[in-house]
Structure 1
Amino acid sequence: MAQDDETVELTPGTPEFEKMVFKLNQEVNAENLAILNYDGNELQQIEEGVYAQPAYVADDFNLFFIVTQLIEDDWIVAFSQATIENESDITDLSEPIPTGKGLNMLGNQSPDDANKLLQYFNTLSDANRGEWRLLQ
């Protein structure tokens, strides 16, 4: 039986899941930015075509959403880790982390928060706002 390459079900927490990214079905702009708000936070444009918002922040671990065109013209929701100084000044963001890998990293820190984030992505997917894709 041939398998459809577009729909891939992978289990969070597995090494294979680390290769998954969440692709948005439309570009991000001022009109649709609010649909991506998470947990009371909203995306902020940090440079042209790059948006960020906190996903999880604790003393010893943090994860920020990074929304940008990472793969050709596709808008991807990835993660980044930030350097936070003086408790609230974000001074540096890491290279983008694939969505699945970020969720696995968070799962090691806080499984409940990782599940909450996974539900957020599933809600976006159910609303036809985006879909999971396997990085090639």
Structure 2
Amino acid sequence: MNLPSPGKHGIVLGPDPHHVGLARRWADRIARDTDSASFALITAVSELVTNAQRHTRSGDPGGTTTVVVERRPFAYVLTVTDNGPRPGPTIPVPRIEDRHEPLMVGGYGLRMLDALAAYWDWSGTAGGPLTVRALLERDSAPPGTVAP
């Protein structure tokens, strides 16, 4: 994906669950940072792409998920856009579920994003594509700068 800014990188993924691993490897190459900063970006990308594939039309045949990472001096801005909700009686939106069963499998993606991100939100229209945006701090200053 060609983007106008040299600090922005994007990828369009298909519905194949193996594309989550492709997204992780792509994010690792984009990060070019310390392991802890890379971990936050890679984990956030992995969880959001997984959510898009599991809960939206992005996981259906022909579906896509668009991931964009903008490298800023001390943070990454991550956006993940899906193809919108699957047909059904309700339109799901990203939310952190209250957990009453700590041993329950799955459902922790947004909770992990919430723990890793300095900020996150979502935007979209009812029945249309939805974008989750996250600000992930980088824990190291770029060469030649002084961390605050």
TM-score relative to the length of structure 1: 0.31
Larger relative helix fraction: 2
Larger gyration radius, structure 1 or structure 2: 2
Q: Which has the higher contact order (CA 8 A, sep 6+)?
A: 1
TM-score relative to the length of structure 2: 0.29
Larger relative strand fraction: 1
